[in-house]
Amino acid sequence: MADFSLVAVAVGLIYLAAFGCIYRILLSYRTAQGAIAWIIALVGLPYLTVPLFLFFGRYRFGGYVKARRMGDERLTELLNRFEQQTTSIPEPATGHFQDELQVLCKLGRQPFTDGNHCSLLRDGKATFEALFEAMEDAEHYILLEFYIIRSDRVGQRIKSILERKLAQGVEVWFLYDDIGSVWLPQTYLDQLSAAGAKVASFGNGNIRRRRFQINFRNHRKLLVCDGKVGFIGGINLGDEYLGTYIDQEPWRDTHCRIEGPAVTGLQLAWMEDWNWASDQAPQLDWAPQSPPPGSDEVLVLPTGPADDWETCTLFFLNCINNARSRLWIASPYFVPDLQILNALQLAALRGVDVRILIPEKTDNRLIRLAAYSYLVQACRTGIQIYQYQPGFMHQKVILVDDRYCAVGTANFDNRSMRLNFEITAVTTARHFLGSVESMLEEDLASSRLMVKEDYQRRSVFFRLSCRAVRLLAPLL
């Protein structure tokens, strides 16, 4: 009888927890479909679904929001100072600067700045050479933030440079994501710390505030040296971008080097992440360069699950809805939700040249299957989907007409739009637009245009698999 009572109490507690989760879902769900799926699972299989919901069901990164508010006074002061710089463009009057770009300023809580110089880095070799050179030239401090850091040849070269710069008196602040860098040996981090670097993990730094939030990732990849030179893009710190693994082609990816006042935007994003991960407060250089190194207009757009809105989703929608003649998107993962897919279809129907560049070879088979499920809908409205052939394409690039482009870390999937902390650089610079156009034209020439028969002629099992995996799109 006692055993039966214990079982009854346990079952009651589990269902009580399930209804507590349902209460939270009803107060904060994003989509009706997702809410219904969670509720059905919680009622039918509460023993399994309650722990899954605690770890994967949340969409706001609550601990980060609190940390942001705790450090908001200092960050707000820095942001206000940034917006008041002479290089900021609060209300540009030039014809090419439309309302759609003003909206991005509001989304990212940062201004467009003038006086920058941007350089496109088209592969891992060019990117790493530029990163190494910038770190070697640093005189005061180096800020790193990467999703994946490996202890391979690239990783060891990074560590060697950092240790040498630390010995010269340069400060190093090293931030990494504990999920993306799960295989990074502790000895690597210990050696950096012993050399004097300030090292922090985005997850472990505040484990109490971060409990039950392992579904969120810091997917940003950036480097800042002395507040003057910064880097942003899709490339992590690993040998895969050089093709040094046996029987492996180099990963195709893109990064961007920025020199000028927009680097302050990178520092602000890094500072907010560091504020979450550590109680240390670095003294950084926030003064604008004089004279500025160029004339490029640049906006740094940080996005993430601690924002008031779904910032990354709104960014993509803004690009799609405002495209007039051309919209080229390169992303390794193409799993759009219904509103994004509908926006792409409308753009194609109004005559926009919509091209989606995805990889033929991928590191995620589920993502590949899900992408096939969109093929027929896309082709019917004139959306062209290309599969990059030579190797795994990992770049995240958008080209909107001849007006602006973006290079960053955000993929075209639910995780980037709603769960990951991402960062993107948007620019109107003509020379940079030309470089991006030329790069994408070469990538498209190395790609195969998909047709709806690629899906329709496949086996029933393949098509069912694609449709089944598509149901998991919110979790991919």
Annotated catalytic residues are 219, 221, 226, 394, 396, 401
Q: 């006042």: which residue's tokens?
A: 261
Q: Which two tokens stand for residue 60?
A: 């706001």
Element (H, E) at 120: strand 113-121
Task: For the beta carbon of residue 163, count every other beta carbon within 10 angstroms.
Answer: 16
How far is Cα 153 from Cα 157, in angstroms, rounded to an integer? Answer: 6
Q: Which two tokens stand for residue 362?
A: 């991928």
User: Which residues does 329 contact at the CB level (< 8 Å), separation at least 6?
Assistant: 354, 355, 356, 357, 397, 398, 399, 412
* Nearest by Cα to 94 from 428, 431, 401: 428
Q: Which two tokens stand for residue 249?
A: 């082609």
Say if residues 366 and 472 touch (Cβ distance below 8 Å). yes
User: Which residues does 462 contact at the CB level (< 8 Å), separation at least 6?
Assistant: 369, 372
How far is Cα 356 from Cα 353, in angstroms, rounded to an integer? Answer: 10
User: DSSP assignment, residue 30?
Assistant: S
Could you tell me the sign of the dihedral formed by the alpha carbons of 363, 369, 373, 378, in that order? positive
Element (H, E) at 142: strand 141-146
How far is Cα 413 from Cα 473, in angstroms, rounded to an integer? Answer: 8
Considering only the C-alpha atoms of the chain, give the largest distance between any 2 of them, rounded to a whole number of Å.
Answer: 83
Q: Which two tokens stand for residue 10?
A: 């346990």
> What one-letter code names the amino acid at 46?
P
DSSP strand E in 161-313: where?
A: 171-176, 198-201, 217-218, 222-225, 229-233, 255-259, 296-303
Q: 């991919």: which residue's tokens?
A: 476
How far is Cα 357 from Cα 394, in angstroms, rounded to an integer? Answer: 10
164-169 CB contacts, 8 Å cutoff, 24+ apart = 165/135, 165/136, 165/138, 166/195, 166/196, 166/197, 167/195
Phi, then psi, of 164 in degrees rounded to 5: -65, -40
